[in-house]
Structure 1
Amino acid sequence: MSDTVEVDPCERARTAIAAGSWSEADALLTEVSSQRQLSADELGLQANAAYGAGRFEAAITAFEDAHTAHLAAGDLLGAAAAANDVATYLMMDTGLMTPVRAWTRRAEQLLDGLGETPVHAGIAMVRTYERFLSGDLDAAGEQARLAIDIGTRQGVLAAVAVARIATARLLILDGDVERGLELLDEVAVVATSGQLDPLPAGMVFCELICAMQGLAQYDRAEAWTDAMERWRRGNAFGGLGGRCRVHRAEILRLRGSCVEAEQEALHACEQLRPWMRREFGWPLTELGTIRLRRGDLEGAEEAFLAAHRSGWDPEPGLSLLRLAQGDPAAAQALIVDALERPVSVPSKERPPTGQLRRAPLLDAAVEIAVAVDDVEGAARAAVELMEIADRFHSRALHASARLAEGRVALARGAAREASIACGTAVAVWSEIGAPYETSVARLVLAGAERALGNEDRALLELRAAHATFERIGAAGHASAAADACGTDATPPSGGTAWPVAADRAVFRCDGDTRLVEFAGRAVLVRDLKGLRYLARLLAEPGREFHVLDLVAAERGDAPPSTVFDPGELAPVTDGTGPLLDEQAKAAYRRRLEEIDDDLAEAETNGDTARAALAAADRDFLLAELSRAVGLGGRDRTEGSHAERARTSVTRAVRYGLDRIAQHHPSLADHLAHTVRTGTYCAYDPEPRATIHWIL
């Protein structure tokens, strides 16, 4: 007879949650729910487990079921708390403010007549951010004060901390930067003290960094990104780990570590897909920005367009991409539209409205306007950018504004004025520790010095910019700097060829650069994903590689079943299942009903702003449903992961061959005739002409 005591599965689930084993807890509670009805408290437990395991819609459904169970038991306080939980998680991850309003309203109605409770503090906290993200900053301030007051009396530290972060951001947006930063530092102490649960702690960290990024206070942003990275290990809950990665990618990009930044952004996309909806455009836009900086225009376009499809505004990245692609007219049309008709996507990750939101758009607008000879348009944008920099006391914004002034002055023929402005921009960006921005300013400064007849000074700036661009892997700008140097460019690099032994065949990668030698000609080219696929094929001539093996080898750290293609907006999983499962579709339809009720109420009250936001939420959900459901209500399915990988690998290899053709036509011709792509890929040279590649 065994003395083993059977532990209740729900208790085992609690233990698993405490250990951060979300999937284990989710599986245990799902099994229990298949055998009996979970209690209201157990449903709350299941909601947290499902959220941590990446099953967002299942988590929301469990919170809704907990709300219903509390109501059935006559527990109005518990029902209100569950309703506010629904609102909190919808606010955190969906960007759909109309259902958030519906659930906070429901929670408040349940509390009518009960007196002040801790749930009231939670409701005010959620409403603070619902109003903040909807652009109603005055109402957000009122709700933040309410959350702080009630939270202080009721001992709800999370509500107080999150509301104080919102208050700080509102102060900054109103121009009171010094007081806003002081308040942020005060709340940061609470976040690092261990007094907050993982969700509010993660929110506080994220809001701290977003506020610093919006102000272009990069040193502070970096310090809190490092703190959040340390906190993330063992504490991050749900999508918070992915948000940490996006912030880290932003800082790595600023510091010039573009390869590592791209990897962080890709990992962030993979981690955030189960939780984020419209805000998924945020990590995709960062990925596109990094790729644009590296000169991977195809990859940048893929990421920016994917962000746009998710309902996000990828500007100014998309406009700058069009400029880099040689289409300044399209770039001008896009950036003007972005400034005149800003897309309002509720997001905690960037300023929701106002001047700080416009600053990066204006910076891009100056560069693009100068490229199309719209000097007066560039001048107007430069003046507005400087006004913003003066108001918010940001060194980085001042550096951007001074470079903008330099561009305009040079376009007007005022070379001396341009030299002074650009010299200031170079100095400030260098002090900040932003090598890419410093080198871009050096390019414009070189143009001013050349216009003044100071050729030696111009070459000095161009060579410094060229060396930095090469070091950080900014291929397009390195090429531009080399072209501007003419015969004085640093040899050999950026596609400059030189002779080598005719029998040598080299395809070797060194950091961000690949040395290519073939048929007596050598060249350095920037490494790309497609070139890494080619290197794998060249290593074993005649061998067929399945595309999933190629992708897994290139990724280095992920099995084929988790291939990620940002152009598809989703991790690629085994099989050909529906884009939205039945639970997700049912949740979307419930939210549509909530949105319709909110829209009708807004129209009755003549609240056009609220009606517009509700209509935008409705359009987004309808688009998601139409993407997932075809004619006759039949589910549209995902393509198999093998098919997606085949498309991605083929596209990357072709892009790599196009890049090789620009610098080494004979090798490109050889590979075009010997490399085979498809579900299986291979390098099949003539057997009688064996080539021994040095890799």
Structure 2
Amino acid sequence: MNPAPDPRSAEEAWARHAWGDVFEILAEADRRRPLPPDGLERLALAAHLTGRRPESGELWTRAHHAWLTRGDVPRAVHCVFWLGLDLVLSGEWSHAAGWIARARRLLDAEQADCVEEGYLLALQGLQGYFAGDIADAADLSERASAFATRFGDADLLNFSMVSVGECLIRLGRPAEGVALLDEAMVAVTAGEVSPIVSGLAYCAVIAACHEVFDLRRAREWTAALSRWCSAQQQLVPYRGICLAHRVEIMQLHGDWADALDEADRACRWMRSAPAAESADAAYYQLGELHRVRGEYEEARRAYREASRLGHTAQPGVALSLLATGEVEAADAAIRTALDAAGDRNARCRILPAFVEVMLAAARVEEARSAARELAGAAEALESPLLDAVAARARGAVLVASGDSRAAQALLGRAVATFRELDAPYEAARTRLLIGLSCRESGDEVTARLEIEAAMAVFRALGAAPDLVRAEELALKAAGRAAGLLTAREREVLRHVAVGKSNRAVADDLFLSEKTVARHLGNIFAKLGVASRTAATAYAHRHGLV
């Protein structure tokens, strides 16, 4: 017979944040002899943190009944908060509503002035938030915060502050909302709140940062969440969002090879986790990485899996269709996605792709309208990233409309912001547009510089489709550049291209070596090359010999 678990070992495991060990030790103790209600609470928490959701719910229910048996209604209602929280976050709203109604009845009958009144308000606020009643959710969360302050409850104060911050963002007050979330995170990083509240706060603040396109905060809090998760042994929840957002940030910063490995690892980890959240987001990011690399079949497989798990898979699917020449299908898909996008922030994730597809379909006015909406949202959200995306969209519309000079100012501003944000791919895509606009305005020299700079980035990243497009633009530029050569310069180039020295060219054409050198300098400048070897290769490649 195995010896009875030593309670001190559970305490030691708790201190190490070894939640799997805590669960095993307390579960074995509970099998031998039912735990008291506070022990059941600890076991329920360990079950939650190790992804054992069904067991966690059963244990919170047992703890609730155990406290009622002891006549401690507030503690019983406290258990309802954790149970109801899990139900609301899992979308089981009717079940959660039943528990909330029971808790309300118990507190009304008890007529006790206790902090659990605030916990119940916070739970009702969360339910209202997910139901779309944001103003009411904000009011309930503010009232919960007042209870937390009066009773000095750190968990409730943090939870309600985060809820109010999220509501403020949805109510069109992003600066106030983000500031409140930053304040709430002080308690989290200082270790002042419980693990579940900490994890929820990290998830909420990172999601909010992405919602308002605040890249700097998203990067900072994702790194903090990664460190926190590493300190929580055998933790299952919250790692999903950490991995998914890490992939998104790595992709934006140009770490594509590492991002692809991380995305693949995230998807494998989530498949093996007993209650993995954010798997849909991980698969979507995997699809995005494959798409920009030109691996369209792999991208579509990832998008299908993301869709199966609940993600919209847009705008990735529409952009993938566009890249493979299926413009009509891309048009239909992106329209459906934009129609389904409920609020402003959701539309902002679709609008850039909508502009791109509309321009490809020669629907310039629809693209212009979408770009204007995107610019208005960027101004309201005060997001540098979104402002750069909007400026590029407006610039692309201006290029398509023939107003290349006006486009260049917007596109230049976008490139500067993308560089500040360390987003090389986005900067390179914008520089390609600048190259196109310069060409349209007759500035071939600048056009060539911009296109070649973009090509270098695409080549380094492995952005195959963008590299092909840039090379096609470079070939067109080559044709124009060749047309800029004078008859004498073409003659000099033909002689150089067959291996003749400057002296030999001078003798053949009855010129001085100095004149030949001057002609070569002009040729190099016009063709955008730096040596006679490159000029020779260029001449052969483009039929100038």
Give the TM-score range, shorter chain. 0.7 to 0.9
Q: Give me the whole-angstrom Cα distance separating, in 2, the residues matched to 1:97 and 1:465.
A: 50
In structure 2, relative to structure 1, the CA distance for the partners of 1:8 and 1:151 (3 Å cut) is same
Other structure's SS at 1:111 match:
helix
In structure 2, relative to structure 1, the CA distance for the partners of 1:189 and 1:25 (3 Å cut) is closer
In structure 2, relative to structure 1, the CA distance for the partners of 1:434 and 1:148 (3 Å cut) is same
Equivalent in 224, 239, 243 of residue 245 of structure 1: 243
CA contact under 8 A between 1:258 and 1:294: conserved in structure 2? no
In structure 2, relative to structure 1, the CA distance for the partners of 1:275 and 1:90 (3 Å cut) is farther
Which residue in the other structure is 1:399 paired with?
388
Matched, 1:372 2:361: yes
Relative to total residues, which structure has the larger helix share, 1 or 2?
2
Aligned pairs (5 A) from 1:356-367: 356-367=345-356
In structure 2, relative to structure 1, the CA distance for the partners of 1:101 and 1:253 (3 Å cut) is farther
Question: Structure 2: which amino acid aligns with 1:393?
Answer: E
Which residue in the other structure is 2:512 paired with?
none
Q: Give me the whole-angstrom Cα distance separating, in 2, the residues matched to 1:322 and 1:28.
A: 53
Matched, 1:322 2:321: yes
Which residue in the other structure is 2:413 paired with?
424
Deviation by residue 1:254-276 (Cα, 9 ceiling, x = unmatched)? 11112222333333334445465
Which residue in the other structure is 1:265 paired with?
263
In structure 2, relative to structure 1, the CA distance for the partners of 1:450 and 1:97 (3 Å cut) is farther
**If the length of structure 2 is used for normalisation, what is the TM-score?**
0.80
Q: Give me the whole-angstrom Cα distance separating, in 2, the residues matched to 1:275 and 1:118.
A: 33
Which residue in the other structure is 1:478 paired with?
467
Deviation by residue 1:41-97 (Cα, 9 ceiling, x = unmatched)? 3332322222233222222222223333334444433332222111122344x2444
Which residue in the other structure is 2:104 paired with?
108
Other structure's SS at 2:442 match:
coil
Which residue in the other structure is 2:397 paired with?
408
In structure 2, relative to structure 1, the CA distance for the partners of 1:73 and 1:162 (3 Å cut) is closer
Other structure's SS at 2:231 match:
coil
Deviation by residue 1:127-166 (Cα, 9 ceiling, x = unmatched)? 3332222221111111110111011112221221222223
Q: Give me the whole-angstrom Cα distance separating, in 2, the residues matched to 1:268 and 1:462.
A: 35
Q: Give me the whole-angstrom Cα distance separating, in 2, the residues matched to 1:126 and 1:321.
A: 41
Equivalent in 173, 187, 191 of residue 188 of structure 2: 191
Q: Give me the whole-angstrom Cα distance separating, in 2, the residues matched to 1:20 and 1:267.
A: 24
In structure 2, relative to structure 1, the CA distance for the partners of 1:436 and 1:91 (3 Å cut) is farther
CA contact under 8 A between 1:331 and 1:368: conserved in structure 2? yes
Which residue in the other structure is 2:281 paired with?
282
Which residue in the other structure is 2:176 paired with?
179
Deviation by residue 1:452-493 (Cα, 9 ceiling, x = unmatched)? 22222222111111111222232222222223222889xxxx
Equivalent in 57, 81, 84 of residue 81 of structure 2: 84
Question: Structure 2: which amino acid aligns with 1:16?
Answer: A
Aligned pairs (5 A) from 1:213-232: 213-232=210-229
Shift of 1:366: 0.4
Question: Structure 1: which amino acid aligns with 2:323?
Answer: A
Relative to total residues, which structure has the larger strand share, 1 or 2?
1
Q: Give me the whole-angstrom Cα distance separating, in 2, the residues matched to 1:292 and 1:335.
A: 16
Equivalent in 50, 61, 67 of residue 70 of structure 1: 67
Shift of 1:186: 2.1
Q: Give me the whole-angstrom Cα distance separating, in 1, the residues matched to 2:37 and 2:5.
A: 17
In structure 2, relative to structure 1, the CA distance for the partners of 1:277 and 1:341 (3 Å cut) is farther
Matched, 1:166 2:163: yes
Show structure 2 runs of 5+ residues with no match: 479-545
Deviation by residue 1:89-134 (Cα, 9 ceiling, x = unmatched)? 2344x24444333333332222223323222222222333322222
In structure 2, relative to structure 1, the CA distance for the partners of 1:300 and 1:91 (3 Å cut) is farther
Taking only aligned residues, the RMSD between alpha carbons, in angstroms, comes to 2.6
Aligned pairs (5 A) from 1:195-594: 195-235=192-232, 237-272=235-270, 274=273, 279-342=278-341, 354-486=343-475
In structure 2, relative to structure 1, the CA distance for the partners of 1:275 and 1:282 (3 Å cut) is farther
In structure 2, relative to structure 1, the CA distance for the partners of 1:267 and 1:79 (3 Å cut) is farther
Other structure's SS at 1:116 match:
coil
Shift of 1:175: 3.3
Other structure's SS at 1:239 match:
coil
CA contact under 8 A between 2:291 and 2:320: conserved in structure 1? yes
Equivalent in 83, 89, 95 of residue 99 of structure 1: 95
In structure 2, relative to structure 1, the CA distance for the partners of 1:315 and 1:443 (3 Å cut) is same
Q: Give me the whole-angstrom Cα distance separating, in 2, the residues matched to 1:487 and 1:329.
A: 26
Q: Give me the whole-angstrom Cα distance separating, in 2, the residues matched to 1:487 and 1:414.
A: 20
CA contact under 8 A between 1:242 and 1:267: conserved in structure 2? no
In structure 2, relative to structure 1, the CA distance for the partners of 1:99 and 1:447 (3 Å cut) is farther
Shift of 1:281: 1.7
Deviation by residue 1:17-54 (Cα, 9 ceiling, x = unmatched)? 33233333333344444444444333323222222332
Q: Give me the whole-angstrom Cα distance separating, in 2, the residues matched to 1:71 and 1:200.
A: 24
Deviation by residue 1:656-687 (Cα, 9 ceiling, x = unmatched)? xxxxxxxxxxxxxxxxxxxxxxxxxxxxxxxx
Show structure 1 runs of 5+ residues with no match: 343-352, 490-695
Shift of 1:176: 2.9
Q: Give me the whole-angstrom Cα distance separating, in 2, the residues matched to 1:333 and 1:151.
A: 50
Other structure's SS at 2:144 match:
helix
Question: Structure 2: which amino acid aligns with 1:206?
Answer: C
Equivalent in 136, 139, 142 of residue 136 of structure 2: 139
Q: What percentage of residue pairs aligned between the two structures are identical?
A: 31
Q: Give me the whole-angstrom Cα distance separating, in 2, the residues matched to 1:229 and 1:62.
A: 28
Which residue in the other structure is 1:671 paired with?
none
CA contact under 8 A between 2:444 and 2:477: conserved in structure 1? no
Which residue in the other structure is 1:505 paired with?
none
Q: Give me the whole-angstrom Cα distance separating, in 2, the residues matched to 1:231 and 1:311.
A: 27
Which residue in the other structure is 1:25 paired with?
22
In structure 2, relative to structure 1, the CA distance for the partners of 1:157 and 1:248 (3 Å cut) is same
Shift of 1:434: 0.8
CA contact under 8 A between 1:403 and 1:441: conserved in structure 2? yes
Which residue in the other structure is 1:669 paired with?
none
Q: Give me the whole-angstrom Cα distance separating, in 2, the residues matched to 1:377 and 1:444.
A: 19
Deviation by residue 1:193-227 (Cα, 9 ceiling, x = unmatched)? 22112221222222222222222221222222223
Equivalent in 135, 150, 155 of residue 153 of structure 1: 150
Q: Give me the whole-angstrom Cα distance separating, in 2, the residues matched to 1:294 and 1:95.
A: 36
In structure 2, relative to structure 1, the CA distance for the partners of 1:100 and 1:281 (3 Å cut) is farther
